[in-house]
């Protein structure tokens, strides 16, 4: 199984071979793309490993592969966060409608598993809905279980020869890369 545990691009590369895909397949990301991705060497395929193959056709030696618009890791994480956000917004609306005060404990029960301690990203989500109500978003929140998959892809990219910064930006995005750079700078200032 690939990084996502689904039928992803990594599985397709393992089945058909990296060189075969580079030389004989056109690979597109998203359903409305008209320009195929340009791969020069096997390491160029790695960033797309967690993307789901949603359509593929092969004729003799050549073929076409259509990948999902975003990686399965990002898609699933967004889905989980949006699910929790929707439950909390419903609770917020119910509090407003019934004119009862927001209860943090009740809100946390809605999105916890077996009344376990909430991870930090879920605590932040509770605070956002409590503060901003229906205008609350999941922007900037990340689920730790998906970060494990991102770390695995990051390690794979770096071990294949990708630049550390490029790999980090690709997988975690600009905002988190900037946070990492600020932390490095702060550590450097603290050591002086």
pLDDT of residue 23: 95
Q: What are phi and psi of 103, to 5 degrees?
A: -120, 110
Q: Which residues contact 49 (CB under 8 A, 6 or more apart)?
A: 2, 3, 8, 9, 10, 13, 153, 156
pLDDT tens, per residue, the chain with 192 residues:
566 677 899 999 999 999 999 999 999 998 877 889 999 999 999 999 999 998 999 898 889 999 999 999 999 999 999 999 999 999 999 999 999 999 999 999 889 877 678 889 999 999 999 999 999 999 989 888 888 889 999 999 999 999 998 999 998 887 788 887 888 887 766 765
pLDDT of residue 2: 63
pTM of the model: 0.82
Q: What ranges do the domains of the chain cover?
A: 9-71, 74-135, 144-191
pLDDT of residue 4: 66
H helical segments located in the chain: 9-16, 18-24, 72-98, 104-110, 120-132, 144-159, 164-191
Retrieve residue 55's tokens: 């359509």
Burial of 108 (0-12, 13-18, 19+ CB in 10 A): middle
- Which of 63, 43, 42, 62 minimizes the C-alpha distance to 53? 63
């Amino acid at each position: 199984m690939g990084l996502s545990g689904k039928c992803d691009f990594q599985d397709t590369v393992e089945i058909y071979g990296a060189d075969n895909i580079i030389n004989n397949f056109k690979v597109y990301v998203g359903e409305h793309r008209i320009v195929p991705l340009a791969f020069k060497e096997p390491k160029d395929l790695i960033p797309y490993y967690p993307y789901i193959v949603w359509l593929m056709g092969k004729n003799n030696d050549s073929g076409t592969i259509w990948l999902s618009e975003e990686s399965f890791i990002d898609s699933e994480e967004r889905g989980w966060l949006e699910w929790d956000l929707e439950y909390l917004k419903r609770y917020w609306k119910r509090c407003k409608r019934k004119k009862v005060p927001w209860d943090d404990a009740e809100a946390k029960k809605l999105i916890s598993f077996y009344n376990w301690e909430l991870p930090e990203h879920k605590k932040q989500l509770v605070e956002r809905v409590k503060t901003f109500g229906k205008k609350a978003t999941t922007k900037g929140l990340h689920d730790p279980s998906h970060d494990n998959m991102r770390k695995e892809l990051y390690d794979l990219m770096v071990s294949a020869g990708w630049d550390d910064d490029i790999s980090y930006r690709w997988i975690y995005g600009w905002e988190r890369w900037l946070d990492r750079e600020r932390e490095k700078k702060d550590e450097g200032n603290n050591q002086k």
